[in-house]
């Protein structure tokens, strides 16, 4: 076995000594010697092992332990487990060895972390389910796992591009929502920034540049805004610090995507934070509201933007007062008011409770969250990734508080509907629900609930769960209960779906082969043929245009669009000749970018229907077989699932020049109506730029117009040129691309 040289041993020792400086003041000699023992043991176990970057492997566990100690404020047991977290996975030692040397608590955490190692495949998702079941026993497993992921993200540069995209996607899919739910805002924000940097490098750098360009102007605004607040706080003898922070580049980009706005149209890039040193004998809430009163005396508040998270804290313990006020130069500025204790909880979430409360209270505070997912976790039949999708909904959602007819308060995720509330109270109530009375007014089961609603569920003995309820059920509990009601029907659906798929294939004279089934599965973004049969049997899939999906050429159509598949010409011949031809086809090299060419004979690729990419868009590929790729836009929601569930099938992709083929694209226009504007729009499109139009739809209301253009575009460059021309037309306020191509 190869051992480390003197320089590497020195490097390891330096990192360990730097780590000790962080924790030396915090622990007594007995705890420090336990940590020392864990380091010496792990260092010997990992001797000679290196990471992809070339540095000694032990540096990673030391870095994780540093995050656990410094950023999460956890104790010696967690630090020991962090240092030892990869020993069982990567060396000859077992959990029993860890238990014998470091005790049962450390061994239990290391065991949980070992079960969570590796990539996110379906086995991993099942392991995560099991681990979440034991979350109430020891949440430190998840906290250390998040720290482990944070360091992996910090050192992602040494990875190949397809691995970077996979790991960044997986982080955004699961670790960011987990950090959010646990209130680890500082870590959540860093994970988002690092994921954004590696997944969308160009957009990340653009936003950083725009933030840098506005820095001087922003600093002037901040100083002008803060000065009168500081003076007032000093006059009132309120001991506090006033700071400012920028919205992260990821959250700026997310808002730009979500609302279809430009960088300059986002008003809350800046937030001012007032942190009070609380006086004893007066409630923290009252002290915060006194400061709110001072701020709104100076600046006028925006009435719909006052948030009180002190009276009713968020489920993850977050407490703060938020108000958006009109500052100097006509700019909206968000002001956050909180005490030092609240600020620490806001930065470090549940981990901060270790500093303020004993661990049993801390664990109990998680109980309401765990209770919501426990029933679903116990369901052995639920699909692991389906569970993860539903579980994510519960991680991210902000909370709203609802009341029963008797006045009991129930907290639920924002966006919950009547059916969610019914299942939250009892399964039978959900199964029999026909509607509700909200504040004494009758509403349907799809009605979305609002904060403070008093809800009385109405039932009928004749009611049975319906599949369409899944369209508006948002909580994991409600969704799993509705799905459970249909598990009994599953076999019937599978048989019916199999018949429907086979009939649809026969109708287009296509053989029922595994290759054809794979193409249909890939087209609908499904996992396997059972899921295809099941969804077809339940009526979720429209089995139309199968000839296009299977890559058959239709001579009557001059322009192909939507899910275009370029495929090999099938040669007639013997079975052995066909196999020989198949063997000659090159397999796709996952390490290199997949080049998308206009006339591609040897390798099939499809353009995903969910996001409808066109040549020039930033895209990535999803391998359905060794010689077939589905191309998605990098920001596509569907691809987020693949990044975490089948990340090993993700490859980078690049377009070559496309000039002949056209692609259907939809543009959304908004502006002020005037005579001749439609004529000008169509003139720019068809006469000036010679672009073919499929449909034009305009709707005007009280002087405002909205319009949709359905166009055949060669590539993204032509599209951007068109958007620029359209934006110059007098009266047009905004032009945006819509990925939904249905009329």
Task: Give catalytic residue positions.
Answer: 89-90
Tell me the C-alpha to C-alpha distance, in Å, between residue 301 and each of 167, 202, 264, 297, 350.
Answer: 42, 36, 21, 9, 31
* Kind plus residue range of the DSSP H or E element containing 111: helix 104-115
Under 8 Å CB-to-CB from 730, ≥6 apart: which residues?
Answer: 674
Q: CB neighbours (10 Å) of residue 469?
A: 22
Exposure letters 43-56 (e unless 16+ CB within 10 A, then b): bebbbeeeeeeebb
Closest among 690, 660, 549 to 608, alpha carbons compared: 549
Question: How far is 279 from 84, CA to CA, in rounded Å?
Answer: 43
- Of how many residues is the chain composed? 743
Q: Residue 245 pairs with which residues in a beta bridge?
A: 271
E strands, 221-360, in order: 240-246, 270-276, 301-308, 321-326, 332-339
Which pair of tokens denotes residue 660? Answer: 């002949």
Q: Residue 336 pairs with which residues in a beta bridge?
A: 273, 322
CA–centroid distance for 649 within its chain = 19
Which pair of tokens denotes residue 695? Answer: 């449909």
Question: How far is 447 from 234, CA to CA, in rounded Å?
Answer: 49
Which pair of tokens denotes residue 249? Answer: 């580049």
Question: How far is 375 from 393, CA to CA, in rounded Å?
Answer: 16
Contacts 24+ apart (CB under 8 A), 375-380: 375/477, 375/480, 376/476, 376/477, 376/480, 377/129, 377/132, 377/133, 378/133, 379/480, 379/484
User: Alpha-carbon dihedral of residues 684, 687, 691, 695, nearest 10 degrees?
Assistant: 70
* Kind plus residue range of the DSSP H or E element containing 427: helix 427-431
Under 8 Å CB-to-CB from 576, ≥6 apart: which residues?
Answer: none
CB 614 within 8 A of CB 665: yes
Tell me the C-alpha to C-alpha distance, in Å, between residue 61 and each of 3, 50, 156, 638, 649.
Answer: 18, 12, 15, 33, 28
Q: Residue 401 pairs with which residues in a beta bridge?
A: 411
Closest among 547, 565, 725 to 661, alpha carbons compared: 565
Under 8 Å CB-to-CB from 631, ≥6 apart: which residues?
Answer: 596, 605, 606, 607, 608, 613, 619, 620, 621, 653
Q: Residue 448 pairs with which residues in a beta bridge?
A: 417
Tell me the C-alpha to C-alpha distance, in Å, between residue 461 and each of 429, 432, 477, 725, 734.
Answer: 10, 6, 22, 61, 52
Tell me the C-alpha to C-alpha distance, in Å, between residue 737 and each of 349, 383, 668, 697, 722.
Answer: 38, 35, 6, 15, 11
């Amino acid at each position: 076995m190869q051992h480390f040289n003197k320089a590497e041993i020195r490097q390891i020792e330096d990192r360990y000594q730097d780590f000790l400086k962080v924790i030396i003041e915090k622990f007594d000699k007995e705890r420090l010697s336990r940590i020392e023992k864990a380091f010496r043991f792990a260092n010997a176990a990992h001797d000679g092992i290196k990471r992809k970057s070339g540095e000694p492997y032990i540096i990673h566990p030391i870095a994780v332990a540093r995050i656990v100690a410094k950023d999460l404020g956890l104790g010696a047991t967690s630090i020991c487990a962090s240092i030892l977290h990869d020993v069982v996975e990567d060396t000859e030692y077992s959990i029993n060895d860890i238990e014998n040397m470091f005790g049962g608590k450390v061994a239990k955490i290391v065991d949980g972390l070992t079960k969570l190692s590796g990539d996110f495949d379906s086995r991993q998702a099942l392991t995560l389910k099991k681990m979440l079941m034991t979350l109430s026993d020891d949440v430190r497993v998840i906290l250390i796992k998040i720290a482990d992921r944070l360091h992996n993200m910090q050192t992602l540069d040494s990875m190949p591009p397809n691995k970077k995209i996979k790991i960044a996607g997986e982080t955004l899919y699961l670790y960011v929502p987990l950090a959010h739910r646990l209130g680890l805002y500082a870590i959540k924000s860093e994970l988002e920034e690092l994921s954004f940097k590696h997944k969308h490098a160009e957009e990340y750098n653009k936003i950083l540049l725009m933030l840098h360009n506005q820095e001087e102007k922003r600093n002037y605004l901040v100083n002008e805004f803060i000065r009168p607040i500081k003076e007032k706080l000093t006059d009132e003898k309120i001991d506090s610090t006033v700071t400012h922070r920028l919205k992260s580049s990821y959250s700026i980009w997310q808002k730009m995507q979500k609302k279809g706005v430009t960088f300059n149209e986002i008003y809350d890039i800046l937030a001012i934070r007032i942190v009070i040193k609380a006086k004893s004998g007066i409630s923290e809430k009252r002290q915060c509201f006194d400061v709110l009163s001072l701020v709104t005396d100076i600046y006028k508040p925006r009435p719909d933007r006052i948030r009180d998270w002190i009276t009713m804290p968020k489920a993850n313990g977050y407490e703060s007062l938020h108000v958006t006020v009109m500052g100097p130069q006509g700019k909206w500025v968000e002001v956050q008011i909180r005490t030092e204790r609240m600020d620490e909880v806001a930065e470090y979430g549940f981990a901060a409770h270790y500093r303020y409360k004993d661990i049993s209270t801390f664990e109990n505070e998680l109980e309401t969250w765990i209770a919501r997912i426990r029933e679903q976790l116990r369901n052995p039949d639920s699909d692991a990734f389906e569970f993860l999708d539903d579980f994510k909904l519960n991680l991210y959602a902000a909370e709203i508080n609802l009341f029963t007819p008797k006045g009991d308060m129930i907290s639920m995720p924002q966006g919950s509907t009547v059916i969610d509330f019914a299942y939250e109270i009892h399964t039978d109530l959900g199964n029999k629900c026909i509607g509700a009375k909200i504040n004494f007014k009758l509403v349907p089961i799809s009605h979305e609930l609002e904060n403070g609603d008093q809800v009385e569920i109405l039932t009928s003995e004749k009611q049975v769960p319906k599949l369409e309820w899944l369209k508006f059920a948002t909580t994991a509990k409600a969704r799993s209960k509705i799905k459970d009601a249909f598990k009994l029907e599953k076999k019937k659906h599978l048989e019916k779906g199999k018949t429907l798929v086979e009939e649809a294939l026969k109708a287009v004279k296509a053989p029922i082969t595994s290759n054809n089934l794979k193409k249909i599965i890939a087209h609908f973004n499904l996992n396997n043929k059972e899921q295809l049969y099941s969804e077809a049997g339940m009526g979720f899939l429209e089995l139309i245009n199968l000839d296009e999906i299977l890559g058959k050429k239709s001579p009557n159509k001059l322009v192909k669009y939507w899910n275009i598949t370029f495929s090999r010409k099938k040669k007639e011949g013997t079975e052995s000749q066909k196999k020989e031809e198949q063997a000659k086809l090159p397999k796709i090299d996952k390490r290199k970018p997949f080049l998308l060419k206009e006339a591609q004979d040897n390798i099939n690729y499809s353009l995903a229907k969910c996001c409808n990419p066109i040549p020039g868009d930033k895209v990535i590929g999803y391998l359905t077989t060794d010689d077939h790729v589905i191309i998605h836009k990098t920001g596509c929601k569907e691809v987020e699932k693949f990044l975490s569930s089948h990340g090993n099938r993700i490859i980078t992709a690049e377009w070559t020049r496309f000039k002949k083929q056209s692609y259907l694209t939809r543009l959304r226009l908004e502006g002020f109506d005037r005579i001749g504007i439609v004529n000008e729009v169509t003139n720019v499109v068809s006469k000036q730029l010679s672009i073919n139009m499929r449909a034009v739809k305009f709707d005007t209301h009280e002087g405002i117009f909205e319009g949709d253009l359905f166009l055949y575009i060669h590539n993204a460059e032509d599209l951007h040129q068109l958007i620029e021309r359209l934006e110059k037309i007098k009266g047009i306020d905004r032009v945006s691309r819509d990925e939904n191509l249905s009329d």
